[in-house]
Amino acid sequence: MFEKIKAEIDGIMERDPSAKSRFQVYMFSPGFKAMRAYRKAHRLYERGRFFMAARVSAKARRRTGIEIHPGAKIGEGLFIDHGTGVVIGETTEIGDNCTIYQGVTLGGTGKDKGKRHPTLGDNVLVGAGAKVLGPLKIGNNARIASGAVVLDAVPDNATVVGVPGRVVKINGRKVEKKPAADLDHVHVADPVSMEFCLLRLEIQKIKESMADGG
Ligand SMILES: CC(C)(COP(=O)(O)OP(=O)(O)OC[C@H]1O[C@@H](n2cnc3c(N)ncnc32)[C@H](O)[C@@H]1OP(=O)(O)O)[C@@H](O)C(=O)NCCC(=O)NCCS
């Protein structure tokens, strides 16, 4: 138990440049507090003690601003930085060594039943304010940019940005952007040649009517 707590604190020390000591993390890190409460709530939840689990979870939410449903399945080494406004839904699954910043929602779209929340692989980073919605899979080492809204599965080693989220990098290489049809400045019709075409048609018509004697 003590070893697990120490490993969790060490994980935070590695990823939080502002953490000055283990004691400081133990005393004041909201992510650390929320995770300790979650582990307790999850154990109660697994034993079917749903009311007690909800009680522990609600108390942690009041103290940290982080809401983790006791039913969520979370691996080792999750680092929730700052934490305020983080919501992790009941059927969420999170692999090992993930990082989540403030304002992140791992939630449902409201359209699914049963498994409604995302599954994150290992070493996933979810930036501040990002929303990952639905029972979709986020691959290992994926990076979800701050402010992104992710509605589709994300492959391993991909970076996703924007609303709706789109993959901009994969395995460290940028993904080419497709020009939008109405922004294609290369394949636009030439207005001068279009005018010539119209003029030739008019001349053709005049020639035909003269040939008819009209
Ligand atoms: C996405 C992120 C993880 C960087 O990942 P990366 O794989 O190193 O990606 P890059 O920095 O190479 O950026 C790739 C592209 O995405 C763009 N991008 C990066 N972050 C973005 C964001 N939040 N929103 C929109 N576009 C973003 C970059 O401008 C770049 O665009 P370009 O190809 O047109 O130049 C990082 O930008 C991020 O959002 N981190 C979250 C940090 C955070 O939440 N901090 C809170 C601290 S309190």
Q: How far is the CA of 152 from the centre of ligand 1 (A)?
A: 18
Q: How far is the CA of 119 from the centre of ligand 1 (A)?
A: 21
Q: What is the pLDDT of residue 96?
A: 96
Q: How far is the CA of 145 from the centre of ligand 1 (A)?
A: 5
Q: Could you tell me the residue ranges of all domains in the chain?
A: 2-174, 181-211
CA–CA gap between residue 12 and residue 50 (Å, rounded): 29
- For the chain, state the CA radius of gyration: 27
Ligand 1 pocket test: which of 82, 102, 156, 161 has the largest number of ligand atoms within 8 Å of its C-beta?
Answer: 161
According to CATH, the topology of domain 2-174 is: UDP N-Acetylglucosamine Acyltransferase; domain 1 (2.160.10)
Q: What is the pLDDT of residue 212?
A: 81
Q: How far is the CA of 212 from the centre of ligand 1 (A)?
A: 70
CA–CA gap between residue 146 and residue 128 (Å, rounded): 5
CA–CA gap between residue 37 and residue 28 (Å, rounded): 14
Q: What is the pLDDT of residue 179?
A: 63
What are the pLDDT digits (tens) for 15-35?
999 999 999 999 999 999 999
CA–CA gap between residue 125 and residue 79 (Å, rounded): 10
Q: What is the pLDDT of residue 63?
A: 97
What is the value of pTM for the model shown? Answer: 0.85
CB 58 within 8 A of CB 26: no
CA–CA gap between residue 206 and residue 198 (Å, rounded): 13
Angle of helix 2-15 versus helix 30-46 axis, rounded to 10: 140
- Other CB atoms within 10 A of residue 40 CB: 16
Ligand 1 pocket test: which of 125, 146, 177 has the largest number of ligand atoms within 8 Å of its C-beta?
Answer: 146
Q: What is the pLDDT of residue 119?
A: 98
The per-residue pLDDT string of the chain (214 residues; one tens digit each, 9 = 90 and over) reads 788 888 899 999 999 999 999 999 999 999 999 999 999 999 999 999 999 999 999 999 999 999 999 999 999 999 999 999 999 999 999 999 999 999 999 999 999 999 999 999 999 999 999 999 999 999 999 999 999 999 999 999 999 999 999 999 999 999 987 666 666 666 666 778 778 778 888 888 888 888 887 6
Q: What is the pLDDT of residue 180?
A: 62
CA–CA gap between residue 119 and residue 107 (Å, rounded): 10
Q: What is the pLDDT of residue 78?
A: 96
Which residues have any ligand 1 atom within 6 Å of their CB?
82, 101, 125, 127-128, 143, 145-147, 159, 161-162, 168-169, 174
